[in-house]
Amino acid sequence: MRRILITGAAGGLGRVLRTRLRAEGLLLRLSDVAEIGEPVPGEEIVRCDLADAKAVDRLVDGCDAIIHLGGISLEDRFSRILDANILGLFNLYEAARAHGHPRIFFASSNHTIGFYRQDERLDAGMPMRPDGLYGVSKCFGEALARMYFDKFGQETAIVRIGSCFERPRNHRMLSSWLSYDDLTSLVTCVLRAPLLGCPVIWGVSDNDRSWWDNSAIAYLGWRPKDNAEAFRDEIERMEERPAPDTPLAIWQGGPFTQDPIVPEA
Amino acid sequence: MRRILITGAAGGLGRVLRTRLRAEGLLLRLSDVAEIGEPVPGEEIVRCDLADAKAVDRLVDGCDAIIHLGGISLEDRFSRILDANILGLFNLYEAARAHGHPRIFFASSNHTIGFYRQDERLDAGMPMRPDGLYGVSKCFGEALARMYFDKFGQETAIVRIGSCFERPRNHRMLSSWLSYDDLTSLVTCVLRAPLLGCPVIWGVSDNDRSWWDNSAIAYLGWRPKDNAEAFRDEIERMEERPAPDTPLAIWQGGPFTQDPIVPEA
Amino acid sequence: MRRILITGAAGGLGRVLRTRLRAEGLLLRLSDVAEIGEPVPGEEIVRCDLADAKAVDRLVDGCDAIIHLGGISLEDRFSRILDANILGLFNLYEAARAHGHPRIFFASSNHTIGFYRQDERLDAGMPMRPDGLYGVSKCFGEALARMYFDKFGQETAIVRIGSCFERPRNHRMLSSWLSYDDLTSLVTCVLRAPLLGCPVIWGVSDNDRSWWDNSAIAYLGWRPKDNAEAFRDEIERMEERPAPDTPLAIWQGGPFTQDPIVPEA
Amino acid sequence: MRRILITGAAGGLGRVLRTRLRAEGLLLRLSDVAEIGEPVPGEEIVRCDLADAKAVDRLVDGCDAIIHLGGISLEDRFSRILDANILGLFNLYEAARAHGHPRIFFASSNHTIGFYRQDERLDAGMPMRPDGLYGVSKCFGEALARMYFDKFGQETAIVRIGSCFERPRNHRMLSSWLSYDDLTSLVTCVLRAPLLGCPVIWGVSDNDRSWWDNSAIAYLGWRPKDNAEAFRDEIERMEERPAPDTPLAIWQGGPFTQDPIVPEA
Amino acid sequence: MRRILITGAAGGLGRVLRTRLRAEGLLLRLSDVAEIGEPVPGEEIVRCDLADAKAVDRLVDGCDAIIHLGGISLEDRFSRILDANILGLFNLYEAARAHGHPRIFFASSNHTIGFYRQDERLDAGMPMRPDGLYGVSKCFGEALARMYFDKFGQETAIVRIGSCFERPRNHRMLSSWLSYDDLTSLVTCVLRAPLLGCPVIWGVSDNDRSWWDNSAIAYLGWRPKDNAEAFRDEIERMEERPAPDTPLAIWQGGPFTQDPIVPEA
Amino acid sequence: MRRILITGAAGGLGRVLRTRLRAEGLLLRLSDVAEIGEPVPGEEIVRCDLADAKAVDRLVDGCDAIIHLGGISLEDRFSRILDANILGLFNLYEAARAHGHPRIFFASSNHTIGFYRQDERLDAGMPMRPDGLYGVSKCFGEALARMYFDKFGQETAIVRIGSCFERPRNHRMLSSWLSYDDLTSLVTCVLRAPLLGCPVIWGVSDNDRSWWDNSAIAYLGWRPKDNAEAFRDEIERMEERPAPDTPLAIWQGGPFTQDPIVPEA
């Protein structure tokens, strides 16, 4: 039986994958800095602060793969992003290097490219345009992952998660939504691929209005099944379409592009 | 209720959209230089020559969007193309500028690129290769639309209509056919998009043999449903396949590439 | 009735097409250097060594199209590849030139590009990277076909066959498999297209994990229907996934990349 | 001796070429709607309104090449642009078609792409972004020229003139300047090239700060010699550098991007 | 008189620019965490640790432009890189935001792309391939700079310094060398450009063997004058050419690609 | 002292390099199927038919590099091209494999791409378009060289020689000329480069009218010095400019595109 580490297991995506991967018979090591709850059979629970290098080293030891969802996922004080997303990621890759290079699924973000317009089509090789400090920290992460691949052969799936929720919640998510089923199939696909390499993957469902072109990773055989368009009527009832000259309609990063720098306390 | 202006309403596409858009509950202002018939409830009829700037100004006043199908759509004397497609289009954009920039659906044409070979795949950014004076007038139109976007923020969908008929009529249309349903869904999609910008869109159904790549406008979420291939047997019974060394088989513009310059009377 | 020449008719693909094309009412001229068996109605059998120019000339005389599957299809002594795939192909094109340029379906191979990585996506215009002498001979063939097109107007479908078997046999074929049905529909499509030109076509089914992008030949209207993914469970039971740092997982050409040069006897 | 027609001969560029080409021993037919002055030996003077088709036909008759500088070269009332740049150009191409397709040097303009940013590098194949009605009329002209090439074999050099003056006059011209010597060598080069085709050429000197990439027309062998940088100190003394957030600093079209639509009288 | 801040003023490049820029009559504020020496007229000396946000804020106050050379420029413990290159850079951009967005020259590095092969030609838009933690920290910096541009309009020249020394010191520097004169002219050019934007610039002289294509920033008008080739004989006397299958010959990053992760003390 | 093998040493390029490389103090092994003459000090003469594998093996033994100019360089009977350019090249690469992979300079040809138009600009990665059997044999050679590089690490400079003569001889050579000096500096450059890899290099001088873009091999540091333009007047006196609608003006391959297939005797 293979042991899979999930960091950020107490967060939204972590809770989704906890249930679904266990159902596939995988042994899960669940970790978070926050409270996760009690383990059920097939689970191990490890409380861990990613900024603590030694703790991260113990956390990774014995794992066959890592699904790294941990860290800050919104604009925040830079000191907090620095600890969790920058130092924390470095600690994780060092631990992986020390323990046989388990394959890593790294939850990067569409906020690495949030300052492209919504009428642009992106492939994964275009220059990054982060929309805030959070996005910048994910650019750091993508660069770190690539370096560990080129230098040490560490395989990583760099997954630029769109908007992963049970259903799309607003007009922007008609383009950016990633369904839970498609997230799960992507994780499975990454874990099973004979050759992973270090690709950048758009974590997005098969939405009619997607901005992102995944054809470069066809070799992985991931074919998302869901389509946010099924929720369009629901969303049009919920909120007004944003006007074409407003940031919500213009930028792929949506509201993040308007977030200020968060001052240190 | 939104009021939509349809120019060229007496023509083939105009009659199709007149019926279908009214069915969606839109208020239609129908215009043509030719006789259109009597309005039914939900319709206004305005006879108008596009070369008459003042008349066009009145025509546009009060409209929330414009579906511009008017003008000449075949090779013709240049003087006629000049009035209808060049001066007429300028008048339309000036009227739109005077009246709050209603969004414009501009029926451009595949004859802007008719001198590409049928074994070439085109995206919308490739240099234009018009196949006659009609095609050149549409190149003018695309340039004008882009200028009003860059200078004044006027949004336009530049739609290079393929061959829009009830069904494909010859071998070439197995590639270029646009069904009435797909035309209608494209119009709807353009009217509803939060951000339109000023994209060039291939107006073509989901034909197996399409020459044109619409991936750049995926953000609009338009997914045509029809496929000319369903009519292949019918067409093969109707006409011989053109020989590979004949203009009908070589050029995307088909017979237009062979049309002479039409002399002034 | 049209007469179609199939070379290499005694081989795997030849036997498949023999049955299927006859079923479409085509008159077949079947040829091989090996024993083919007895003709049934609608068939002619011609024993022929491709290295014999005069015999090839007679073979081609009277044919309306050629499906060229003949020659060596594995690493072999260079002298044998030279005779069958290089001299033999020249003889075939000379015969076609002498007899009215019947359209040619040329079975090239993925081994023209076997030294690209499996995490790369290829279009047909990328520089060749053959993985052995067999692959090099197919590069020769592609160049020869192109020259006869540019110089003499000879149309050829250059088909880089992936792995054409009844079902995929190993992990690599989850990407490279071409089903018999899809091979057949491709042949039919090539024979019927009004304009063929001289395209390079990836001969691969609609596999989830395909490495190859056929969008450039959309104009031919070929839409493969099969998907190797349907056989994934079967294959995963049959063989271990290759490790990511082994040639079988790294190179598109798979085991061919490891074949040594075969010494002359 | 070869006879060269220069339209717009009374304008700035016309006067420059009049002197310089005569010096090369060419016979010049000089034409303008305005007064040109008296002919000297080696010159013919023909007063002509380009909107008059018959007059244009006579004008072109007997010429071996045409340097078309005529028409409006600033924002103006659309009616005037229509007559001079659209109808006038059509008349010119029709006359060329009637008289053996003399090679045409067509003075297009950088205002066909004025809405690209000054920190962008352009090749000649990028989509047009005109900055006003004048620019749009040149887009029309480029499309017309291309159509006459594809349909009738008419060769044209489509030259997007930058800023052609004796010396650069402001900061923008440090990028866009075309010296008189370089203009002259370009004309000569176009007239003498064995194969011209229908290229789009950036009419710009070898300026350090050029925005435009002419590598696609290297086959013509034109190597401009002048460099606006030699005038930088002079310009910095003459005018303030424009601030980076002003249209003069942002757009390649410079002040044209700010011109309003000129109302009809 | 304009005041220019130079961080890292005690380092190699800092000392070069200190002398040369003062000679151009600029007022210099020189800063470093290390000892810099005494100011001469036209200089201010400010000792400053970049990790100290308040000190950085005071440092930037009153400056018209920033030449940011400070931080770690070799592989080092991650904790040191984190403080100097990541937190330090954030502090600098925050200070610039607080003080009117003085233009920034940011010394990034070729080690952001050190894992490209030496037989590859790079433009500035290609995905990053850092060769160590130092390189990764510069990827962070480039992303941060771009975000401050897109979000706040902060202009930065992102300069990927090659190898900046008095003369090239080894075979690799025949490609990567940046002379002091060319560094100086680049700085001047960045300070004076009307529009800078946020370009990525290869900081490399006009070396015959350069790997890097600066054509995208032609608009800045920077034309380096020096050429490492002038030192080839000297270098060939100094050291053996590296063998083609060794990291020094293969990777653009040269020896950095072989550096291990530096352990924390 | 290094020993360099030159095949085809009795031919035009062979004689040029014989003199010039000896002058650089290299020990030369000169080979041809034809008479070469007597060796001088620093030379060895070996008569050799490339189709004789054993003889080629002995020829290569002891050489540190190979300059392969041997074989047929014009349209000829295919049997002769097969022996010299196809079998002969295979023999050469096998011999190199047996003897430690001496670096190879392979004289390929512009006739691998002769069917591109003269108004097209080519980089080395574009699909091949040979203009005859000779060109096809060079396509074979390029594929073979690449395979030996990918499979065995054999470095080759694939040099597409333009027109290498003492001076350009006709209008086409104003684009395609390679001077003897530039040939020599290219050979030297290839022999001395730390990393060669397996690049495709355009063997052409710095001609104003060049069709070919060598920027991809800037890393080699080869800067040709000569320019065919210096001979333009001379050529214009010698021959008429070809008309724009003739093969000599249209195709890069020039007269080769018109050569028929040479019949076997």
pLDDT tens per residue across span D170-217:
999 999 999 999 999 999 999 999 999 999 999 999 999 999 999 999
Q: How confident is the model at residue F1 (pLDDT cuts 50, 70, 90)?
A: low
Quick one: average pLDDT of D8-28? 94
Distance (Å, whole) CA F112 – CA D202? 30
**Which residues, in sequence order, are CB contacts of B158 under 8 Å at separation 6+?**
B106, B108, B141, B142, B145, B146, B198, B199, B200, B201
E211 in reach of chain A (CB within 8 A)? no
Q: Is the pLDDT of residue A147 over 70?
A: yes
> Is D147 within 8 Å of B261 when comparing Cβ atoms?
no
Residue-wise pLDDT tens digits, B35-77: 999 999 999 999 999 999 999 999 999 999 999 999 999 999 9
- DSSP code of B87? I
Quick one: average pLDDT of C15-26? 92
Q: Is the pLDDT of residue F260 over 90?
A: yes
Q: How confident is the model at residue E1 (pLDDT cuts 50, 70, 90)?
A: low
Residue-wise pLDDT tens digits, B78-112: 999 999 999 999 999 999 999 999 999 999 999 99
Distance (Å, whole) CA A185 – CA C208? 13
> Is B194 within 8 Å of A119 when comparing Cβ atoms?
no
Q: Which residue in chain C is spatially nearest to F262 when comparing CA positions?
A: C94
Is there an interface between E and A (3+ Cβ pairs < 8 A)?
yes
Residues 184-203 of chain B with CB under 8 A from chain D are: 200
Q: Provide the mean pLDDT of chain F.
A: 97
Q: Which tokens hold the place of D159?
A: 């030259």
Instruction: Return the pLDDT at B159.
Output: 98
Residue-wise pLDDT tens digits, E234-244: 999 999 999 99
Residue-wise pLDDT tens digits, B153-168: 999 999 999 999 999 9
Residue-wise pLDDT tens digits, A162-198: 999 999 999 999 999 999 999 999 999 999 999 999 9
Instruction: Return the pLDDT at D1.
Output: 57
**Which residues, in sequence order, are CB contacts of E166 under 8 Å at separation 6+?**
E180
Residue-wise pLDDT tens digits, E157-211: 999 999 999 999 999 999 999 999 999 999 999 999 999 999 999 999 999 999 9
Task: Provide, as residue numbers in chain A, all residues whose Cβ is less than 8 Å from the Cβ of E250.
Answer: none
Quick one: average pLDDT of E86-108? 98
Q: Is the pLDDT of residue A1 over 80?
A: no
Task: Provide, as residue numbers in chain E, all residues whose Cβ is less than 8 Å from the Cβ of D174.
Answer: 221
Instruction: Return the pLDDT at F25.
Output: 84
Note if B148 is an active site residue: no
> Is F87 within 8 Å of C82 when comparing Cβ atoms?
yes
CATH, domain range C3-258? 3.40.50.720
Residue-wise pLDDT tens digits, E38-55: 999 999 999 999 999 999
Task: Provide, as residue numbers in chain C, all residues whose Cβ is less than 8 Å from the Cβ of F143.
Answer: 112, 128, 130, 135-136, 139-140
Is there an interface between B and E (3+ Cβ pairs < 8 A)?
no
Task: Provide, as residue numbers in chain E, all residues whose Cβ is less than 8 Å from the Cβ of F153.
Answer: 245
Quick one: average pLDDT of D6-13? 97
Residue-wise pLDDT tens digits, A57-70: 999 999 999 999 99
Task: Provide, as residue numbers in chain D, all residues whose Cβ is less than 8 Å from the Cβ of E197.
Answer: 117, 119, 244
- DSSP code of E28? E
**Which residues, in sequence order, are CB contacts of B63 under 8 Å at separation 6+?**
B3, B4, B5, B29, B99, B102
Q: How is chain E split among helix, strand and coil, in percent rounded to 5?
A: 40, 20, 40
Instruction: Return the pLDDT at E21.
Output: 94
Quick one: average pLDDT of B109-134? 98
Instruction: Return the pLDDT at E43.
Output: 96
Closest CA to C145 of C172, C108, C117: C108
Question: For E195, which of D213, D229, D244 is closest by C-beta distance?
Answer: D244
Preferred mutation among E136, E200, E252, E264 to probe A, highest tally of A CBs within 10 A: E136
Instruction: Return the pLDDT at A20.
Output: 94
Q: How confident is the model at residue C123 (pLDDT cuts 50, 70, 90)?
A: very high
C223 in reach of chain A (CB within 8 A)? no
Q: Provide the mean pLDDT of chain A.
A: 97
Q: Is the pLDDT of residue C83 over 60?
A: yes
Identify the active-site residue in E93, E116, E134, E180.
E134
Question: For E147, which of A97, A125, A135 is closest by C-beta distance?
Answer: A135
Q: Is the ipTM of this complex over 0.95?
A: yes
Give the HSE-up count for residue B221: Cα atoms under 13 Å, Cβ half-sphere: 26
Residue-wise pLDDT tens digits, F50-68: 999 999 999 999 999 999 9
Distance (Å, whole) CA E41 – CA E22? 9
Three-state DSSP string of chain A: CCEEEEECCCCHHHHHHHHHHHHCCCEEEEEECCCCCCCCCCEEEEECCCCCHHHHHHHHCCCCEEEECCCCCCCCEHHHHHHHHHHHHHHHHHHHHHCCCCEEEEEEEHHHCCCCECCCCECCCCCCCCCCHHHHHHHHHHHHHHHHHHHHCCCEEEEEECEECCCCCCCCHHHHEECHHHHHHHHHHHHHCCCCCCCEEEECCCCCCCCECCHHHHHHCCCCCCCHHHHHHHHHHHCCCCCCCCHHHHECCHHHHHCCCECCC
Q: Is the pLDDT of residue F256 over 70?
A: yes
Is there an interface between E and D (3+ Cβ pairs < 8 A)?
yes
Three-state DSSP string of chain C: CCEEEEECCCCHHHHHHHHHHHHCCCEEEEEECCCCCCCCCCEEEEECCCCCHHHHHHHHCCCCEEEECCCCCCCCEHHHHHHHHHHHHHHHHHHHHHCCCCEEEEEEEHHHCCCCECCCCECCCCCCCCCCHHHHHHHHHHHHHHHHHHHHCCCEEEEEECEECCCCCCCCHHHHEECHHHHHHHHHHHHHCCCCCCCEEEECCCCCCCCECCHHHHHHCCCCCCCHHHHHHHHHHHCCCCCCCCHHHHECCHHHHHCCCECCC
Quick one: average pLDDT of E117-143? 98
Give percent of chain E with pLDDT exceeding 70.
100
Distance (Å, whole) CA E241 – CA E231? 14
Distance (Å, whole) CA A124 – CA E233? 43
Residues 74-93 of chain F with CB under 8 A from chain C are: 78, 82, 86-87, 90
Q: Which tokens hold the place of D203?
A: 């009419």
Phi, psi of A218 (to 5 degrees): -55, -30
Q: Is the pLDDT of residue B1 over 80?
A: no
- Torsion region of E85: left, alpha or beta (phi above 0 gives left; psi -120 to 50 gives alpha): alpha
Q: Which residue in chain B is spatially nearest to C214 when comparing CA positions?
A: B121
Lowest-pLDDT range of B19-33, D142-156, E91-105, F193-207: B19-33
Give percent of chain A with pLDDT exceeding 70.
100
Q: Which chains touch A (3 or more CB pairs under 8 A)?
A: B, C, E
**Which residues, in sequence order, are CB contacts of D25 under 8 Å at separation 6+?**
D1, D42
Crossing angle, helix C12-23 and helix C180-192, to 10 degrees? 60
